[in-house]
Amino acid sequence: MGVRPDARLLDVPMEPVTCRRCRARVEVRKSSWDQTSVQWHEDAARSCAERRAGARGSGPNAAVFAGCSALRDSIRRAAVRGELPVGTERD
């Protein structure tokens, strides 16, 4: 039995979204209203103030970055406005 190829990106590819606060541009895939995948690029990670602030934290989970609220809002706005396709809503 062979390994089945992952075709999810063919069905719902990554799309660029720019954060309205810091202008960081990431690649986003919304396979549903409840599921979002974000691909950060190096320049976007440097631009994001929330991400940089998390990197300066202390303690055992200092390197953990749960996400940027400004980017999350920008992604939500893009999806609601129809600028970012959501799963099966794609043509």
The CA distance from 80 to 30, in Å, is 12
Q: DSSP letters of 9-62?
A: HHHS--EEEE-TTT--EEEEEEEETTEEEEE--HHHHHH-HHHHHHHT--STTT
Q: What confidence score (pLDDT) does residue 89 get?
A: 54
Q: How far apart are CA 24 and CA 17, in angstroms?
A: 8
pLDDT of res. 59: 58
pLDDT tens, residue by residue, 22-75:
999 999 999 899 999 999 999 999 999 888 887 666 555 556 777 899 999 999
Per domain, the residue ranges of the chain are 13-89
